[in-house]
Structure 1
């Protein structure tokens, strides 16, 4: 009988050990995948928001455009209309966001943890320049918009001149209130025709482009601060 209970206790302990191991592995996987999941949810949210714009606007998502300086650049969203282009950089963050227009890096604060990230206004400026080059329109009327998750609290001390920084919920309003006519119908159609070529690429070519872009990003930002700030 003693042997029976000893064996049973051993089995229970063994099961408890493997349960703890499984929980540790699961927690690690969730922590690693959480930013990706947040990003996917955020992108779906933005797409649904842009669908509210109506037929006079044409939205493009996840475009890869050749950048003369850095190679391929990824543009989250581009909205084309007779009011010009609205180029949108999305940040699926939470916490407090600090920064200014001319700072190279901004800061995300969650409780006592601080994380630096590249100024998205500068980042989106590069996207706009790449679009101008591709479209061969150096004077292309394009407005930069930085859209943050509704979970963040924006702690900016000064207004921005070269971009508009909004929450997801304010994105559609930011685009619609910019209602000065800047492009003719022919110009809009020409831009749409050009960008459609990026969308209509074969799947295999798109995969190669994404892979190349990822490699370039890793090389470019290998020394970029993404560490905690003391």
Structure 2
């Protein structure tokens, strides 16, 4: 019996460390916070929705909160440690003690979601708001963008929008359209979406994409990031012979 318990605890420990489980915990936490802080009659929370776009690709959105005050698109991140990043950087950095991990700027990730909803719902840009919510024991070491929050603080941001942007008809049609357009929640849908993402991100650069060249020695410039601040910069690949650097993001 004791070996069964030890084995179960071990398996659960491994499971809770997987990206899939971390994502589910983050989504569950946002669900609870939304239920507690937002009136369910005014704010309709549509969770874990996969939509197919006109080009055949898919987009998967953690939460869409529909209200008369606008459509709020939430990207959830369950992370701990220090977070470095700003809205203009393509990659952000997570630091836990001396270990660092780079991840895609979630604002850019959510931008694709908001544009997809513009296409599907035929709503103007200003009616669809992007929000990123970090769940877990994390702390920003750089200035947080105004629409990025830790834990339940995002609900106050949503409630700060008091001007009605959707008519009663638009409100009802938005919910109905999303219900009709969403793909069936299943393992197959998730697997096909992951395959779609892999195909998109593994696409080789086109010849029109240019390489940054060092103005001093003519060698290729390489994208790097400052270990202290997380800021991105381009450094010469000829380092240490050439120490030329250029500030900026990709």
TM-score (norm 2): 0.70
Structure 1 CA distance for aligned equivalents of residues 48 and 139 of structure 2? 26
Q: Deviations over 1:77-126 (max 9, x none)?
A: 00000100110000001101100111100000000011000000011010
The residue aligned with 2:196 is 216
Please state how far the C-alpha of 1:58 moved relative to its aligned partner.
Answer: 0.6
Could you say which residue in structure 2 is the equivalent of 1:56? 42
For 1:202 and 1:164, locate their aligned partners in 2 and report how far apart those are by CA, in whole Å. 30
CA distance in 1, matches of 2:136, 2:73: 19
Which residue among 79, 84, 92 is the counterpart of 1:106?
92
1: distance between equivalents of 2:75 and 2:55? 19
Q: 1:42 aligns with which of 18, 22, 26?
A: 26
Q: Is 1:126 equivalent to 2:142 in the alignment? A: no
Matched, 1:153 2:139: yes
Whether the aligned pair in 1 keeps the contact of 2:15 and 2:21 (CA below 8 Å) is no
Structure-1 residue corresponding to 2:218? none
Deviations 1:36-69 (A, max 9, x none): 3332222111111111311111110111122456
Contact 2:77 2:133 (C-alpha < 8 Å) held by counterparts: yes
1:103–1:119 Cα contact (<8 Å) kept: yes
Structure 2 gaps, min length 5: 204-225, 228-250
Q: Which has the higher contact order (CA 8 A, sep 6+)?
A: 1
Aligned to 1:34, the other structure's residue is in SS state coil
TM-score by length of 1: 0.75
CA 1:44/1:182 → structure 2, altered by over 3 Å: closer, same or farther?
same
* 1:174 and 2:174 are equivalent in the alignment: no
5+ long unaligned stretches in structure 1: 1-18, 224-228
Alpha carbons 2:23, 2:76 under 8 Å: kept: no
Q: Which has the larger radius of gyration?
A: 1
How big is each residue's C-alpha offset from its partner over 1:146-197, in whole Å with a ceiling of 9 and x where there is no partner? 000141101223x53xx60001221211211122211111111110110122
Q: What is the root-mean-square deviation of aligned Cα atoms in Å?
A: 2.8
Give the length in aligned residue pairs.
198
